[in-house]
Structure 1
């Protein structure tokens, strides 16, 4: 019996999520979250391209291929391309069959730059991409903090914000000024901070409207976990996000964390990060995950001081260029 590849449909979302989680167990995805993310891409005002395929043998799903245009690093000729096969289905030609369909599809669209990636403790996956002309673009680490080992009291001084600033969650700020105004203040800081995050491609601005829709419609929206440093005038000058992304209720992920340029070197982001860790502890969370590029040496050093420990590195890879 041979492996066949067909386009995936919305009815396949549970199978897609299961296969993606099996291929990348460090970052499992729920069907609800994947359906939401694909729906956001399809409905984006940039008119993003989304294509998905399933490899099957005898009616059993074995792997997934994706071709996506990402709004955060958009270019009309740039695509995120990925082949995901859980280990139990490897070494059967599944990846090659999916890659053949994916490559033909992207050639037909005139793609000039492809981004993909693999973990360095999966050398076969890195080799799979290297054979197809990909090379390294950005190396990053998952860093994991075991909260049972974290002593918040040892960081009491660093957890204090300077005079004139207060720490509030997005949920608390929404009670004070309304959700739309709170999101607008959050967006102003978020848009500036994300411009300085190390990445393989230049960032595309997020409009306030798309940012608000992304937040409010996300199945993992967690406004209590978004901690903001706010001035007396109501300006958000620093932020630290906790996110519920995966399938484990005892785990939270860190989203964007940082400070607006005019307010840096005052310990604001660290104070907010400590606030999110205290919140996670109060919720009974066991682990907090974060990701950092290996070029972000100050953040890697800070995470090590806090007790985060690195996992195997993720190598983002690029073919071509725009």
Structure 2
């Protein structure tokens, strides 16, 4: 018998994390990070689906966040591979569509990895359409020589651990860099407090792997690495203020990240680039990143409670 439990405590959240870790292409970085994310968005609901008591599915839904008034929420659906194609994903989708309606939402955005054929077919059959795509790339570090880090003239690179006092300047970078990412629907930067909680203070964002580019006392760029599992780290934003672009600052930040990752014992770096983001895609190609499959962002309707599972 399948039952859906809305998560209210750490015990249930650990089961949720175990399911996502088993079902997601890259797994989940840590329980601590999952708990942190749960507290970021008012209205977020998480659930774990149990089959005869065993956790086999996980889901969440939340409003878009930031300053967006868009009636489209963000959702995630995962089913452990051995239990797919049994209607369990549909059961969670219907239940969380009802949660979304109570939040005033009319549509959902859901990601699917290009390698997840069943997930893509499932979404497309239910009226979901592709609205964006990010190409994943990987840099294998074991055989890579330690890169030389040479910032442009007048630019100094420091870590957040060295300069914890420049967060306000980093926020100004985010306010220019994030809206300029060429995607169909720009991400919301949100308030300083929202940006700090979402982009800076997650448990997987460590201060020694956050690099800041400064010209004198002014912050002109920054780059963040996320600690993953199994020797993998993930690039978060690499951003430069508009007036300082084209000078090699992003390249210097990326090379500093690669060097720091090698010193920290990571074996590979993974990044996602929007298909239309030619400058960062060119930089990653020059640095030796190799393409993997894409992550696809779908948008589509809420399911009604009477729709049959397939």
TM-score by length of 2: 0.89
Q: Go from structure 1 to structure 2 and tell me whether the alpha carbon gap of 1:105 and 1:212 turns closer, same or farther (over 3 Å shift).
A: closer
Partner of 1:293: 274
Label 1:276 to 1:29 Cα distance change in 2 as closer, same or farther (>3 A): closer
C-alpha displacement at 1:274, in angstroms? 0.5
Aligned to 1:258: 239
Name the CA distance, whole Å, in 2 between partners of 1:210 and 1:120.
30
Map Cα deviations across residues 180-207 of structure 1 (whole Å, 9 max, x no partner).
Answer: x321122221222112123342332332
2:308 aligned residue: none
Q: What is the distance in 2 between the residues matched to 1:212 and 1:135?
A: 32
Structure that is richer in helix per residue: 1
SS of the aligned residue for 2:98 comes to helix
Distance 1:72 1:100 in 2: 26
Q: How many Å separate the matches in 1 of 2:193 and 2:36?
A: 17
Alignment of 1:164-243 (within 5 A): 164-173=154-163, 179=164, 181-214=165-198, 217-232=201-216, 234-243=217-226
**Alpha-carbon distance between aligned partners in 2 of 1:120 and 1:231, rounded to the nearest angstrom:** 40
Cα distance 1:259–1:112, how it changes in 2: closer, same or farther (>3 A)? Answer: same
Q: Which string of whole-angstrom CA distances, capped at 9 and with x for unpartnered residues, describes residues 39-67 of structure 1?
A: 122xxxxxx31112222221111101211
Measure the CA separation in 1 of the matches of 2:291 and 2:27. 15
Shift of 1:109: 3.9
| Alpha-carbon distance change, 127 to 299 in structure 1, aligned in 2, over 3 angstroms | same
Q: Which stretches of structure 1, 4 residues or more, deviate above 4 A after TM superposition? A: 213-217
CA displacement at 1:28 relative to structure 2: 2.0
Cα offset, 1:213, TM superposition = 4.5
Q: Kindly tell me: are residues 103 and 208 of structure 1, through their superposed partners in 2, closer, same or farther at Cα, counting changes over 3 Å?
A: closer
Corresponding residue number in structure 2 for 1:8? 7
- In structure 2, runs of 5+ residues without a counterpart are 303-310
Gaps of at least 5 residues in structure 1 are 42-47, 174-178
- The Cα of 1:144 is off from its aligned counterpart by 1.0
Query: Counterpart of 1:172 in 2: which secondary structure?
Result: coil
